[in-house]
Structure 1
Amino acid sequence: MNHATGIEISRDDERPVRQGPAETFTGQVSLKPLFDPNDVRNTSAAQVSFTPCARTAWHTHPAGQTLFVTSGTGWVQEWGGTKQRINPGDVIWTPPGVKHWHGATDTTAMTHIAIQAFVDGRPVDWMEHVTDDQYLDQRTQ
């Protein structure tokens, strides 16, 4: 199909949910792909759901990332910064190369849509896990 001239519908039941891999997530995380790059779009998106205490590992995005919180309450933190609470309707922009993590709070689940562009064939560079001490640090905004 020529994506530039025809409408493409990605049916919900054709995009199965998978568990977030233990190499890049802590706790129970489910990933639902929404769309991938194609011949005219270099972005991808996924719906990511975190149970309480679940979170990403530290990571960066070569072209940045936009998150849109759809339910629950979560936290996002930039390396060296303070944890910030995120709520439904919040849109979070993380610039290219900024080391960060995001996930649910310790008492509430959270779901967000994550949108990121690909650079040199990759949308993310994963790093070390967020430790429990880093995650539970009480300093928040």
Structure 2
Amino acid sequence: MHIEPKQPTGKAPAKWFTGDVWMDVIAGPKPAPAQLRCNRVRFAPGARTAWHSHPFGQTLHVVAGVALMGTRDGTVLVVTPGQTVYTPPGEEHWHGATPDDFMEHLALWDETPEAAATWLEHVSDEDYHRP
């Protein structure tokens, strides 16, 4: 066992996010058969992911602020600190901060070199502002 060096905080890529988002890698790629990834993700007010899905699903645990998490059927969940949301394999979804507050969550997912996430279009303001 060993302590892994901390990687620098990185700005999330604009092709996958709207607004200002920063990520810290907590658990990065490991030799097979390990597949777990975990990032701490911090969203500025109004920031959000693009629509995406994960072939093995994704678990999101809100640490601070209030998260919005949406699905293609128009559902938008309001998720508070301490709550965890599981998105099943292949479900298209997005997640981000509310318009007025910062939000931080832990994102956990399994990936292989061939499959991590399928990134789609940016979330429209209409989808983001659903009641």
Bucket of the pairwise TM-score, normalised by the shorter protein: over 0.9
Does the 8 Å contact 2:29/2:36 carry over to 1? yes
1:24 paired with 2:16, answer: yes
CA distance in 1, matches of 2:3, 2:86: 27
Counterpart in the other structure of 2:29: 37
1:8 paired with 2:2, answer: yes
Counterpart in the other structure of 1:4: none
Counterpart in the other structure of 1:134: 127
Structure 1 regions of 5+ residues with no counterpart?
Answer: 1-6
| 1:68 aligned residue (47, 61, 82) | 61
1:90 paired with 2:83, answer: yes
1:112 paired with 2:105, answer: yes
Offset, 1:99: 0.4
| Identity in percent | 38
Offset, 1:108: 1.1
- So what's the TM-score if we normalise by structure 1? 0.88
Partner SS state of residue 44, structure 1:
strand
Structure 1 stretches of 4+ with a deviation exceeding 4 A read none
Partner SS state of residue 127, structure 2:
helix
Q: Count the aligned residue pairs.
A: 130
Q: Larger C-alpha radius of gyration, 1 or 2?
A: 1
- So what's the TM-score if we normalise by structure 2? 0.94
- Greater alpha carbon shift after TM alignment, 40-49 vs 115-124: 115-124
Offset, 1:120: 5.1
**For residues 48-92 of structure 1, what are the alpha-carbon distances to aligned partners after superposition, in whole Å with 9 as ceiling and x for unaligned?**
000110000000000000011110001001111311101100111
CA distance in 2, matches of 1:96, 1:119: 14
CA distance in 1, matches of 2:113, 2:21: 26
CA distance in 2, matches of 1:61, 1:77: 15
